Amino acid sequence: MPEYCEVERDGHLYVVTMNRPEVMNSLHPPANFELESVFDEFVADPDLWVAIITGAGDRAFSAGNDLKYTAQHGGRLEINPKGFAGLTARYDNPKPVIAAVNGVAMGGGFEIALACDLIVASEKAVFALPEPRVGLAALAGGMQRLPRAIPLKHAMGMLLTGRRVSADEGYRLGFVNEVVPEGEALAGAKRWAEQILACAPLSVRASKQCAYQSLDKGSLEEACSASYDQITAMVKGEDFLEGPRAFAEKRDPVWKGR
């Protein structure tokens, strides 16, 4: 059983809760490696289609790297191959992941949320990349993902000052999908998950892969003409026939994820 997180399977939904509330769900190497294994399971399991990650308690999603633990262990940063929480350097996952941000999301905590496909935030949530204030930098993808998520000047305003941003401002800037009342971040994320689960899983994965990988193409024409293996899988899958058949028969589709 995981020691630093909780895992719940609910049909095709996988809910992961970072569980170190005594340190605001900040993560140390053992927690990061454990979360890497947890998300390895999610990616590999064909019956799991959507994941949600959140934090235990009502104070924090994650306060980022456990600096006290780092200081007590010689100041050495040990990051697992898949990155912070097993997510920030995971580039081969075609399945959607939703961040249910229930409180503080600082440093690595914000980088975990940015590595997710959607962010649902409590009205009490706070976001920041404060690493420059302690002589560090957002090395788990924050410096790269934030300018891809919001306009460059707004991203630079956060990166260069480490300032804190509320959930409402995050929504206005564009990196938060929905702001919900305090205590309802997980419930809000589950509502988004239900909408995703109503869609064909292979279609969702094709859409995710194409959207992200096309950002790296030099032109729209190149992006549209590129090859995406998740689109190939979708076209060859059983669900590619089930969708039109269900529409013609005026019934809900029964997705198999293959």
Structure tokens at 85: 């929480």
Same domain, 186 and 210: no
Q: Which of 254, 258, 250 is CA-nearest to residue 203?
A: 258
- Name the catalytic one among 3, 8, 22, 111: 111
- The Cα 107–Cα 136 span in angstroms is 10
Q: What DSSP element (H or E) covers 54? A: strand 50-55
pLDDT at residue number 69: 87
Residue 218 in any domain: the answer is yes
Residue 109 in any domain: the answer is yes
Question: Could you confirm whether 8 is annotated as catalytic?
Answer: no
Number of compact structural domains in the chain: 2
Same domain, 191 and 209: no
pLDDT at residue number 1: 81
Same domain, 191 and 66: yes
Structure tokens at 144: 């790269």
Residue 256 in any domain: the answer is no
Residue 257 in any domain: the answer is no
Same domain, 131 and 31: yes
The residue type of 79 is I
Same domain, 162 and 227: no
Tens-binned pLDDT, residue by residue, of the chain (258 aa): 889 999 999 999 999 999 999 999 999 999 999 999 999 999 999 999 999 999 999 999 999 999 888 888 776 667 789 999 999 999 999 999 999 999 999 999 999 999 999 999 999 999 999 999 989 999 999 999 999 999 999 999 999 999 999 999 999 999 999 999 999 999 999 999 999 999 999 999 999 999 999 999 999 999 999 999 999 999 999 999 999 999 999 999 999 999
User: Cβ of 93: how many Cβ atoms within 10 Å?
Assistant: 19
Q: What DSSP element (H or E) covers 186? A: helix 185-197
Same domain, 124 and 181: yes
Same domain, 190 and 207: no
CATH number at residue 73: 3.90.226.10
Same domain, 31 and 12: yes
Same domain, 124 and 220: no
pLDDT at residue number 177: 98
pLDDT at residue number 75: 63
Same domain, 143 and 26: yes
- Name the catalytic one among 131, 184, 194, 249: 131
DSSP 8-state symbol, 65? B
Residue 258 in any domain: the answer is no
Q: Tell me the pTM.
A: 0.96
Question: Could you confirm whether 131 is annotated as catalytic?
Answer: yes
Determine contact, residues 19/7, Cβ cutoff 8 Å: no
- The Cα 88–Cα 81 span in angstroms is 10
Same domain, 161 and 228: no
The parent domain of residue 165 ranges over 5-197
- The Cα 56–Cα 47 span in angstroms is 25
Same domain, 221 and 172: no
